[in-house]
Structure 1
Amino acid sequence: MALRNLSLTIEQGQSFGLLGENGAGKSTFVRLLMGFIFPSSGQLRVLGQSNVALAHTRIGYVHERTIFEPRISGRNYLIHLGRLAGVQGSAGLRHIDALLERVLLQEAARRPVGGYSKGMQQRLAIAQALLTDPELLILDEPTSGLDPRSQWEIRQLIQGLRQEGKTILLCSHYLAEVEALCDTIGILRRGNMILSGAVADLVTARNIVEITLAGQLDARQTLARLQISTQAILDVRDNTFKVRGEAQAGILEKLVLAHVPLHSLQPLSQSLEEVYVQATEQAEYLA
């Protein structure tokens, strides 16, 4: 069973990151969306179509391992695929040249693809995915195996498409990349969606608050003077201390009544990597 009890909605204009270890079901999910395989039960709709083949012209897809004919030039590659997709004539050629410029391949456009670096080939794959100006982009590991500069260039491209309002499904093992590029995420494990939600909510759900006292007040001495229980205190350093979220109200009340001036109070965030590790460890424990 590759996927089970999976219920998921990706809203129009969202950038959704699909996470999970190898074998979790990510590739199966992408193949279902593309209509390469079909669900054994349940319902699937892509851009409003239950027959996902009818949505193909509105989808741009970048495969994890794109294969090119090495002897063809980047421009002729896009011209050939453009003809298959109905992008033709002088307007089609102008569109292709604009895409090559967008992915920073205008100078290499007439060179054989076999001489392209992996990063250049990946940018060409993204240009191909944009040929029909799709509403939905499915990007399967778009920066895998690239050098840092090429990864940055691909992320800049994706960020630009996100700002244009494209709906994006991004499959990636790079959690920092997903955190920077996605509005919402889902974590798959052994075919089950173990966690999903808005990135902003997940990374701030740590339930720890950092309180900084004003001026040169010593936090440790202040807490001792007010007889605040150390059980709720997680860390003390200079004029700053961290408390559990559930203890925040009681501690603040004591500080206010004692007229202790405060500089700031803020909930602490956690990285998406921490969210991922906690979710998978919990799923392993409950299995």
Structure 2
Amino acid sequence: MAAIECVELTKMYEQRTALRDLSLTIERGQSFGLLGENGAGKSTFVRLLMGFIFPTSGQLQVLGKTKVAQAHTAIGYVHERTLFEPRISGRRYLVHLGRLAGVQGSVGLKHIDALLERVHLQDVAQRPVGSYSKGMQQRLAIAQALLTDPELLILDEPTSGLDPRSQWEIRQLIQGLRQEGKTILLCSHYLTEVEALCDTIGILRRGHMILSGAVSDLVSSKNVVEITIAEQLDARETLVRLEVPMQAILDTHGNTCKVRGESQAEILEKLVLAHVPLLSLQPLNQSLEEVYVQATEQADAAAIAQPAPVASGGK
């Protein structure tokens, strides 16, 4: 049973479609990164998962529950803009929320102390939350999300607005939870963060899922090959002499050239027949940022190419 499964999920607000025909499966134990610009539909999707709003059409299951509110006790949620009562201490905040969630008694208090230690707040646990830095408050929010030892964690922009040190600390926490086998849904604008922390991703664009898949597969599909020849040879001069088509050559530097993947076999044949010594040949990966830009540009081009709907009605 998947952690999250939706089929043709659609959410409309009056005349605006926030999410359209989204079909997606996130397996248990998977770390999934949800990408998209502001207004792409990420927040709408998270609200649907939490049961704060309801779909216009389509099917949604969270941890096997079609009534997603029934899964709340197994979900830890960190909101994009977490709010705290600034006058109470971090420990008292967790104790109060723990009681509401059924985490109480001596066992509950030990669990809370362990969480404070895990997020490195044990030394400031008695201080008012209002005196915490933003990074400390975000770590407290993660501790709160872990109160019931949830199976699914939904993290909405957990490092947004933090300084580099605080971002690193939050990412270390997330990495640890990932290694424990928690299912994680991470919404983030930081593509390098998603690339490092997620197994799979989905890119939303104007309410549509335009690309999804394993991170390892997506970043290895650049279709560019780097060829290094003998050090005493100039790659560009060598390729020109062998009459390699210029459109197949992407870049050259010294004895190294980058060529299109589809031209690799032809170029290698020319080099081998000319007895040009080859030192290395390797496919190049692309960054997740390159994947994102390419996918959104293609989606925008496809949208422009579509003919406008023909209006119906009277003359």
- TM-score if structure 1 supplies the norm length? 0.96
Cα distance in 2, alignment partners of residues 163 and 53 from structure 1: 27
- Separation (CA, whole Å) in 2 of partners of 1:284 and 1:237: 34
- Opposite residue 157 of structure 2, the aligned amino acid is E
Higher relative contact order (CA 8 A, sep 6+): 1
Matched letter for residue 111 of structure 2: H
Structure 1 stretch 275-284 or stretch 56-65: which is displaced more?
275-284
1:190 Cα shift? Answer: 1.2
**Bigger strand fraction:** 2
Q: Residue 146 of structure 1 aligns with which residue? A: 162
Unaligned stretches of 5+ residues in structure 2 = 1-16, 304-315
How far apart are residue 225 of structure 1 and its match?
4.0
Deviates more, 1:244-253 or 1:119-128: 244-253
| Residue 53 of structure 2, aligned match among 37, 40, 45 | 37
Q: Which sits farther off after the overlay, 83-92 or 100-109?
A: 83-92
Q: Give the match for residue 262 of structure 1.
A: 278
Which of these residues, 245, 254, 258, is aligned with residue 242 of structure 1? 258
Structure 1, unmatched stretches of 5+, are: none
Superposition pairs of residues 56-205 of structure 1, within 5 angstroms: 56-205=72-221
Query: What's the offset of the Cα at 1:218?
Result: 2.6
Shift of 1:215: 4.1
What whole-Å deviation, never above 9, does each CA across 1:40-99 have from its counterpart, x for those lacking one? Answer: 111101111111122111110000111111111101111111111121222211111111
Aligned to 2:248: 232
Q: State the distance in 2 between where 1:234 and 1:3 align.
A: 38
Deviation at 1:231, TM superposition (A): 2.8
Aligned to 2:20: 4
Supply the distance in 2 between the matched residues of 1:214 and 1:135 (Cα, whole angstroms). Answer: 54
Aligned pairs, number: 287
SS at match of 2:20: coil
Per the TM alignment, residue 247 of structure 1 is displaced from its structure 2 partner at its CA by 0.5
1:256 deviates by 2.7
Work out the percentage of aligned pairs sharing the same amino acid: 84
2: CA distance, partners of 1:91 / 1:260: 71
Aligned-partner Cα distance in 2 for 1:48–1:84 = 24
RMSD over equivalenced CA pairs, Å: 1.4
**Residue identity opposite 2:236 in structure 1:** R
- Counterparts of 1:286 and 1:267 in 2: how far apart (Å)? 28
